[in-house]
Amino acid sequence: AHAHALIRDPSDMSLAIWSPSGVVAKAPVLRKAAKRLGQMGFQVSVDESAARKHQRFAGTDAERLDALHRMCDVSPDIVLATRGGYGVTRLLPQIDWSRLASSVSRGTRWVGHSDLTALQLGLLATEGAVTWHGPMACGDFGADEVDDITAPCFVEAMTGELEAVGFRTEAGFDGLEGEGVLWGGNLSMICSLLGTPWFPHIEGGVLFVEDVNEHPYRVERCLLQLAQAGVLDRQAAVLLGEFSDWRKSPLDKGYGLKSMVQAVRAATRTPVLTGLPFGHVPTKVLLPVGAQVDLVSEGRDALLVWGHI
């Protein structure tokens, strides 16, 4: 983190929209996102292959890999994914990670979540470069209405103004202090990287996780996998975001997200905090994956601080 980094103006920043994963089903949504980001002040371009279609993907693997490397070489100020879905996993062995890292060192901010977790953690594992876990073009800026926290938070993060995120957590963590590398993202994607060269080996880090369409027992299973692999015990803290759009089962009999959190807390000595505002929900804060952060809590108020990046 640079304490006195220059705060940019959005009108001086180029923003390129690209498709690394799933197909963009509705072209008007992509057009609306580009227009809206332009109205927010950014100089917006849409990659030539962003709306391509191949099966469930935004183009063939080769086309999406080309788009990734094209973004690296063009190095706009911001590279924003259209959407997630599935597709980055197929590309991992072919990605030129040093090319991606050099775009970051030239100032490019790569932004996304969900399937983008594989790209962000792969880059952190191989090159130690920082990316931004945050919104995506279609789902967030192409929506009927843009969330009134997500949009200004995006602008602040991209211009270098954002230096912390605060949230309300459960009681019991008053006075907690920790520091380390911030990393994480979509829980299913994190677990899919275990045992591969693209899984970051972070000691004393702050791990954040979220997921969508996963019943709490599946979330618990993923988190216990990380605990049993020794990952959770090596962290300074684990932050849980939103686990949205799951359906209750008649078999639950009172089992739910609270039971899941209890089971995970019992499986690790690391503090597990709830309430981080991010996930597959309208309100998304932006989080610098790979940055050094401080985590402090007072009462139920927790603060994640990284300074200007």
Q: What per-residue string of b and e applies to 100-139 under the rule 16 or more CB within 10 Å gives b?
A: bbbbbeeebbbbbbbbbbbbbbbbbbbbebbbbbbbbbbb
User: Residue 6: what pLDDT?
Assistant: 80
**Residue 114 reports pLDDT greater than 90:** yes
Tell me: the pLDDT tens digits for 60-111?
Answer: 999 999 999 999 999 999 999 999 999 999 999 999 999 999 999 999 999 9
| Model confidence pLDDT, tens digit, residues 181-219 | 999 999 999 999 999 999 999 999 999 999 998 999 999
**pLDDT digits 0-9 by tens, 241-271:** 999 988 899 889 999 999 999 999 999 999 9
Q: How much is the mean pLDDT over the chain? A: 96
- If one counts every other C-beta atom within 10 angstroms of the C-beta of residue 227, the result is 21
Kindly state the DSSP code that residue 43 receives in the 8-state scheme: E
Section 206-234 average pLDDT: 97
Q: In DSSP terms, which residues pair with 167 in a beta bridge?
A: 302
pLDDT category of residue 18 using cuts at 50, 70 and 90: very high
* 1 against 256, higher pLDDT: 256
5 pLDDT tier (thresholds 50, 70, 90): low
CA distances from 154 to 126, 189, 207 (A): 26, 23, 21
Specify the pLDDT at position 37.
98
d(CA 6, CA 2): 9
Q: Which residues form the catalytic set? A: 114, 210, 280
Core vs surface per residue 243-272: b (16+ CB within 10 A) or e? beebeeeeeeeebebeebbebbbebbebbb
CB under 8 Å to 141, separation ≥6 — which residues? 32, 33, 36, 37, 135, 151
Longest dimension (CA), the chain: 55
Sheet containing strand 131-133, strands side by side: 43-46, 14-18, 78-81, 109-112, 131-133, 287-289
Burial 53-85 (b: 16+ CB within 10 A, else e): eeeebbbeeebbbebbeebbeebbbbbbbbbbb
Identify the pLDDT of residue 246.
85
Amino acid at site 107: G
Residue 116's nearest CA partner among 195, 35, 188, 47 is: 188
Taking the mean position of all CA atoms in its chain, how far away is CA 169? 20
What was the pLDDT predicted at 211?
Answer: 96
Q: Which of 8, 78, 11, 7 is nearest to 39 (CA)?
A: 11
Pairing of strands 292-298, 177-186: antiparallel
pLDDT confidence bin for 3, thresholds 50/70/90: very low
Q: Give percent of the chain with pLDDT exceeding 90.
A: 94
Joined tokens for residue 19? 């498709």
According to DSSP, residue 5 is labeled P
Residue type, 234: R
The whole-model pTM stands at: 0.96
Bin 24: left if φ > 0, else alpha if -120 < ψ < 50, else beta.
beta
CA distances from 182 to 60, 77, 111, 299 (A): 32, 22, 15, 22
